[in-house]
Amino acid sequence: MMRKLSKKQVALYYKYGHDIVKYNLGHRTLAKISGYSKHACDRVIKYTRQHGAPNPDDAPGGNILVIGDAHSQPGVEQSRFTLLGKVIEDRGRQAMEEGVEFTVVNIGDWADMESLSSYDVAKRSFEGRRYKHDVAAAIEAQELMFAEVSKAVRSYTRWVLVLGNHENRINRTINDDPKLAGFMSVSDLKYEEFGWELYPFKEAANVHGVHFAHYFASGVMGRAVSGANIGRSLILKTLESCVQGHSHILNHATLTTASGRRMHGLSCGCFFEHEEGYASTGNAMFWRGLCFLNNAKDGDYELETITIKRLRRMYDMELK
């Protein structure tokens, strides 16, 4: 009788069990393609031969950490990105130990790109804005975050970034003034160089059956799903589990079909602490923190939320 697999080996079994059966993989080959030790591969192969390929219905869910609109910009202190890196490191390690997949989803508007704003052009607030400073702030934010993430967690994690309207200002600027093509592009932000899997503005990434986009369009004008019940509206508009950023508001709803399929709609708040001038009294409605979609599988998950304020206390990184 075979001993039970460790949590990591269970993850390996669910990921490669079918291939082990289909291609009759040996432990050396499996170690090469999976990055696991030969010993772990040997155990999983023996287990698979005894028990057969895994049933996908029994596979464990994955953990997803969602970063809301972070709006890195020049002149606004960036220690929240160090804090974020520390949280990712801890949650990533935990997922590795438990043998569950770990994904970080960046919901877009990581870069504020205030120099390309069309909202306050020629106004006093616009003075001194520079494209290169905007780009530098977004790159520094990534450097601060990744500095806290170990090599092991970095390679274990799936990094997903769906572009927001603020990053899309770069494409809009080029569209409006095509001679700038070749001088600026979203690639200046180095997202892919840092390891993010990149999705265009308004396109959705699917992680464990949950769809992530900066926002989902509602109606023929393609405006963002909004209102007091964004979560519920998201489900009703898409009939899928969806997460969006953009409004900086926290709102969550679930609906379940007659057959028991649970759908979630989530507006994930934001990840910055400063006040946004354009929003005036709206600032009070912003929810500032991180959302954790734990045990995510086929669009269902267990939601956990933590405010930046609480994270700062937990990591002893109070804002000066």
Give least dist CB 109 to Fe ion, A.
4
Give least dist CB 147 to Fe ion, A.
24
At 101 the three-state DSSP class reads coil
Q: Which stretch binds Fe ion (CB under 5 A): 108-116, 142-150, 154-162, 310-318?
A: 108-116
Closest C-alpha among 187, 194, 160 to residue 171: 187
CB 75 within 8 A of CB 27: no
Q: What is the CA radius of gyration of the chain?
A: 21
Q: Which stretch binds Fe ion (CB under 5 A): 24-32, 63-71, 141-149, 272-280?
A: 63-71
Residue 69 interacting with Fe ion (CB under 5 A): yes
Q: Which stretch binds Fe ion (CB under 5 A): 67-75, 88-96, 187-195, 205-213?
A: 67-75
The widest CA-to-CA distance across the chain, in whole angstroms, is 76
Q: Which stretch binds Fe ion (CB under 5 A): 16-24, 61-69, 78-86, 206-214?
A: 61-69
Residue 89 interacting with Fe ion (CB under 5 A): no
Give least dist CB 143 to Fe ion, A.
21
89, 101, 109, 300: which one contacts Fe ion (CB under 5 A)?
109
| Nearest CB to Fe ion, comparing residues 17 and 108 | 108
Give least dist CB 169 to Fe ion, A.
11
Write the interaction track for Fe ion spanning residues 187-216; mark x where CB under 5 A is met and - where it is not: ------------------------------
Residue with nearest beta carbon to Fe ion: 69
**What's the token pair of residue 131?**
């494209």
For residues 98 and 69, give the distance between their C-alpha atoms in angstroms, rounded to a whole number: 29
Give least dist CB 212 to Fe ion, A.
15
Sign, CA torsion 234/197/103/24: positive
Work out the angle at residue 231's Cα, subtended by the Cα atoms of residues 157 and 217, and round it to the nearest 5 degrees: 85
Q: Which stretch binds Fe ion (CB under 5 A): 23-31, 38-46, 66-74, 142-150?
A: 66-74
Q: Which stretch binds Fe ion (CB under 5 A): 101-109, 149-157, 176-184, 198-206?
A: 101-109
Neighbours of 133 (CB within 10 A): 14
Give least dist CB 167 to Fe ion, A.
10
| Nearest CB to Fe ion, comparing residues 30 and 268 | 268
Give least dist CB 243 to Fe ion, A.
14
| Nearest CB to Fe ion, comparing residues 91 and 248 | 248
Residue 167 interacting with Fe ion (CB under 5 A): no
| Helix/strand/coil percent split, the chain, to 5 | 45, 20, 35
The 3-class secondary structure across 251-288, one letter per residue, is EEEEEECCCCCEEEEEEECECCCCCCHHHHHHHHHCCE
| Nearest CB to Fe ion, comparing residues 44 and 249 | 249
**What's the token pair of residue 37?**
């030790």
CB 289 within 8 A of CB 67: no
Q: In angstroms, what CA-CA distances link 99 with 60, 61, 70, 208?
A: 9, 10, 29, 15
| Nearest CB to Fe ion, comparing residues 91 and 166 | 166
Our CA dihedral for 33, 39, 41, 47, rounded to 10 degrees, sits at 180
Residues of this chain that interact with Fe ion (CB under 5 A) are 69, 109
